[in-house]
Amino acid sequence: MTGSPVYWEDPAALADRITEQCQGRIVLAIPVALGKPVAFVNALYRKARADQSIRLKILTGLTLTRPEAGSELERRFLKPVAERLFQGYEDLEYPSAVRAGTVPENIAISEFFLAAGKWLGVETAQQNFICANYTDAFRYIMDAGVNVVAQLVAAPSPDEKAAKETYSLSSNPDTTLQALAERQQGAANFQFVGQLSDELPFMGRDAEIPGREFDHLLGGPCRKTPLFNIPKRPVSLTQYAIGLRAARLVPDGGTLQIGIGAMGDAVAHALLLRHTRNDEYRALMNDLAFGPDEPPDCDDEPFREGLYGASEMFVDPFLALIEAGVVKREVGGALVHSSFFIGPKNFYRALNEMPRADRDKICMTSIDFVNNPFEFLDRKRRDRPNARFINSAMKATMLGAVVSDALESGQVVSGIGGQFDLVQQAFSLEGARSVIMLESTRERGGIPDSNIVWSYGHLTIPRQFRDIVLTEYGAADLRGRSDAEIISKMASVSDARFQEELLEAAKSAGKLPRGSVRPAWWKANTPQTIEAALRPAHDQGLLPEFPFGTDYTETEQELLRALTWLKLKAGSKSSEARLLWRGLTKRRATVNEERLLERMGLTSPTTFNEVVLRAILRAALSDR
């Protein structure tokens, strides 16, 4: 495109023009997560839904939807939260149709990454899923014949230089920069649509592009629409144990990748403790020293040279790490290179209020630059020494393979995303390591199960890429080890309740000597040990549930603890019956309980169902 883009205020009128230009056959690519141009996508979806002669294919990843309740108690909790946090936000229309199975036959929606756990059992989403590494997604989109690329973009404020000439891809230059490069070279032909947002932070450097790149810009009322925000989840003591251990694996002067969620928050907070409250950090690590094994490449000193961030997702804890001087090593004038971001409201606010010079230390750029182990390799080997690519998983096998994206049945939980890219990068760069974080057990209906298994029918990371697996009980350094050594190391970081069963499976397979006996210190791997080691620090405020703040009120935080506990303990009729009896036989509610019950609309139950809900909630409030 050369010249000036056509400016629109009505998304329906723009959808009409795009449909006409594409002769009713539209292959639309929109970015992952925050960068989706919701008003434009909705207008195009409505037009295709109303006119069956139009063929619309949407290619994307990580479609964001409001939190959904899995029970009546969760619904009562979430409804006021959602009304407050998503006030004025325009929802995408296609997700509800996908869930209901009502997407018209002339419309197809494929994603290469799903919001974790939200689409299990949804046939349309599962059948149209495209399994792809993040760095391969762009090529698949181009091969599909994309003729429209659209995304949310930021216009500079009036005081910015060249305010009318440049725009920012902001949260999502990830694959768009690649697409624009191909179009400039004549290898691709598509209409480029930008939906303007006054809320979206203007990120400069690689994300800043000239207005002539756009064919169409959509403004009007949608410019004022709030951004999607993700409320923080509380960090558990188990997750803190993992985060504290992970912080010890990050060498000064190195490179850092972390992800979103409670586990990423735990790692970032632990890095801050190591740097700013080092004596207390060391004391915590001493409390977590259950046996003689030391983690690989251990470093627990404050950061002098500091870290550089090369992280596919730019998460809000990076701002705290920059402010504290943990992330301070610059590469090409940037403290962090990243490809997309999403977070809570205060994260967007902080970026918007940041001086331009400071914001330019955060370089949003293409996913090829951040993740691809084969692109810019010489530069990456020079700039990313001792990198630690820290990601989480659902399960790991005793032979070191990792399960992160799908179940044995083939049902997709989320997607591979960038995890395999980052693991490959860890094997390509000097001194780099892949660190896979894993809670050793999960609990459902009060019954624990091991997340470390002998084998599993689906793998995300095959065992030839085994590196470091980190649980609350320690780090298993697997790279270059024999199978017998790896089995022993994996057992040493598993929960004591499952160790004998796992070791017996290895012996039965001939992978471990029959006479092998687990050391006595392995038996300390219990939730009670973690509780004893870290509960005092939590009670003293050293390990807060929300280390980077929260949008939940204090009342909602108390309820969230109870509902989280309930989700773990309930799940069977017998466990729910025990909870019901306990709640029904409790003494009169305290003033605090009445306050929490009032927030849930259960002060004076009028139906049998409300009596049951009140009793179960009271049991959870007292026993969590």
Residue type, 230: I
Classify strands 447-450 and 441-444 as parallel, antiparallel or unpaired. antiparallel
Chain segment 207-224, per-residue pLDDT in tens: 999 999 999 999 999 999
Q: Average pLDDT, stretch 334-357?
A: 96
Instruction: Evaluate if residue 572 carries a pLDDT over 70.
Output: no
Q: Average pLDDT, stretch 281-309?
A: 87
Burial (Cβ within 10 Å: 0-12, 13-18, ≥19) of residue 555: middle
Beta bridge partners of 142: none
Domains of the chain: which residue ranges?
A: 6-224, 237-529, 554-623
Residues 218, 39: contact at Cβ < 8 Å?
yes
Chain segment 16-38, per-residue pLDDT in tens: 999 999 999 999 999 999 999 99
Residue type, 624: R
Chain segment 346-399, per-residue pLDDT in tens: 999 999 999 999 999 999 999 999 999 898 899 999 999 999 999 999 999 999
Residues 203, 338: contact at Cβ < 8 Å?
no
| Entry field: residues in the chain | 624
Instruction: Evaluate if residue 182 carries a pLDDT over 90.
Output: yes
CATH architecture group of domain 6-224: 3-Layer(aba) Sandwich (3.40)
Q: Residue 63 corresponds to which tokens in the numbers above? A: 């479609």
Instruction: Evaluate if residue 117 carries a pLDDT over 90.
Output: yes
Residues 571, 607: contact at Cβ < 8 Å?
no
Chain segment 482-531, per-residue pLDDT in tens: 999 999 999 999 999 999 999 999 999 999 999 999 999 999 999 999 99
Summarize the chain as % helix, strand, coil (round to 5). 40, 15, 40
Q: What are the start-end ranges of the H helices in 388-526?
A: 419-426, 483-492, 496-508
Classify strands 191-197 and 216-218 as parallel, antiparallel or unpaired. parallel
DSSP 337-382: EEEEE---HHHHHHHHHS-HHHHTTEEE--HHHHH-TTSSHHHHHH
**pTM (predicted TM-score):** 0.95
Chain segment 204-263, per-residue pLDDT in tens: 999 999 999 999 999 999 999 999 999 899 999 999 999 999 999 999 999 999 999 999
CATH architecture group of domain 237-529: 3-Layer(aba) Sandwich (3.40)
The helix/strand/coil state of 10 is coil
Alpha-carbon distance 436 to 624, whole Å?
29
Residue 162: its pLDDT value, please? Answer: 47
Burial (Cβ within 10 Å: 0-12, 13-18, ≥19) of residue 592: exposed
Instruction: Evaluate if residue 167 carries a pLDDT over 70.
Output: yes
Alpha-carbon distance 229 to 574, whole Å?
37
